Amino acid sequence: MLYLVSSSPTRAKILDSFKVEFCQKPCGFDEESITADTPREFVYKATAGKFEWAKQEYGIETPILCADTVVTDGKEILRKPKDRDDARAILLKQSGKSVGIITCTAYASKTLTILDLSVTEYFFAKFDEVKLEAHLDSMDWNGKAGGCMVEGFCKEYIVSQKGLDSCAMGLTIEKLLPFIR
């Protein structure tokens, strides 16, 4: 049993699919206060901030797990879209291009601390405009880093991939399993 200190339904689904027992807990760390020069630095600082907050709030009697994910086009962080227009602009920066999805994961128990920074790289074909509009209407992009869903809308546009799907979905579970089971 562990505490997943994240409101992400996708991270919860990943843990469920690997039959990891957990209780989902909220995180009160404000990542909007972070300043960083690179996407890797940002995702590391966000995870470290969440992790420190979670240790103070929940302790480590029950192991804790925190994560953060960013999408980058190689130049900038493609954050969670604020609205439909922002989602369109962010997704169009990924259409027909290479993107990196970076996930930082932190785990702590009484006997072990793990910090992992992983990247999955995708090259996407150009998005179909009609399907993009339908995706925007669906609101599935809401709350997703870069508005990107490699398990949903973006899946059919993947031309090539280097890295783990779980990393791109927000929790690189394969790297944690040997330590949390």
The domain tally of the chain equals: 1
Contact 152, 140 (CB under 8 A): yes
What CA–CA distance (Å, rounded) separates 43 from 71?
A: 10
Condensed to tens digits (0 to 9), the pLDDT of residues 57-107 reads 999 999 999 999 999 998 889 988 999 999 999 999 999 999 999 999 999
The residues carrying an active-site annotation are: 68
Q: Where in the sequence is the domain holding 20, given as residue range(s)?
A: 2-180
The answer to whether the pTM exceeds 0.75 is yes
The tokens for 174 are: 């394969």
Q: What CATH number did the domain enclosing 149 receive?
A: 3.90.950.10
* Residue 31: pLDDT band with limits 50, 70, 90: confident
Helices 129-138 and 84-92 pack at an angle, to 10 degrees, of 140
What CA–CA distance (Å, rounded) separates 130 from 153?
A: 12
What CA–CA distance (Å, rounded) separates 176 from 15?
A: 11
